[in-house]
Amino acid sequence: MSEVAIRALAPTDLDAYRLLRLRGLAEHPEAFTSSVGDEAATPADALARRLAPDAARPHDVVLGAFDGGTLVGICGIDVDMREKVRHKGRVFGMYVPAECAGKGIGGALIDRAVGHAHAAGLAQLTLTVTADNAPARRVYERTGFAVCGREPQAIRVGGRGHDKLFMVLFLPAARAPRG
Ligand SMILES: CC(C)(COP(=O)(O)OP(=O)(O)OC[C@H]1O[C@@H](n2cnc3c(N)ncnc32)[C@H](O)[C@@H]1OP(=O)(O)O)[C@@H](O)C(=O)NCCC(=O)NCCS
């Protein structure tokens, strides 16, 4: 990978984020649980909130990979804040457009997401991946995620069912501050 910078997206990145996300959902409907229709129905301010830093949710982030000024990859983490499940983050919305794929951008995004989750004190990351999505599975397994379950016919796209794999990565305990 060359010259790609990764940073947390901010509300000012909303238009680029929305465009790239819609493209991913349109070009790879079998890879995502959300559809283009779901996304189009999501109000812009809900998406902008996703990109806004929130001191009460330091683990939540949408990372963007930039080649110059162009957004060429996205990957998010969010946490269900209910007491019994707030130790784990969910990885969502990983996408690198085809013309940029195969250069390590997806790997760099998930590595950064893992670092962010660890720094934020999360104990584990989970995600789902469509069972026959070999490139995505490769990226996650390379980073240390392991398959921990399979849901048959988890999504339907154009009337055809696709299984989803559940994957998990356990993070080392964050070191307690000295003193
Ligand atoms: C999955 C995705 C994010 C990967 O991004 P990327 O920038 O190409 O990722 P990387 O370049 O870091 O790595 C891609 C890996 O997939 C491998 N790969 C590509 N095609 C493959 C195939 N058909 N079978 C197995 N592995 C494959 C590459 O060899 C590479 O692994 P390696 O470097 O160990 O050889 C990107 O392809 C994408 O957005 N796909 C469509 C949407 C999607 O599937 N999102 C994930 C939802 S869970």
For 22-44, what is each residue's pLDDT tens digit? 999 999 999 999 999 999 999 98
Is any atom of ligand 1 closer than 6 Å to the C-beta of 95? yes
pLDDT at 63: 98
Is any atom of ligand 1 closer than 6 Å to the C-beta of 154? no
Domain extents for the chain? Answer: 4-122
Q: How far is the CA of 119 from the centre of ligand 1 (A)?
A: 25
Is any atom of ligand 1 closer than 6 Å to the C-beta of 105? yes
**Given a cut of 70, is residue 146 above it in pLDDT?**
yes
Is any atom of ligand 1 closer than 6 Å to the C-beta of 134? yes
Whole-model pTM? 0.95
For 48-91, what is each residue's pLDDT tens digit? 999 999 999 999 999 999 999 999 999 999 999 999 999 999 99
Q: Is the dihedral of CA 45, 46, 52, 56 positive or negative?
A: positive
CATH (residue range 4-122)? 3.40.630.30
Considering the chain, what percentage of its residues have pLDDT values greater than 90?
92
pLDDT at 176: 64
pLDDT at 179: 56
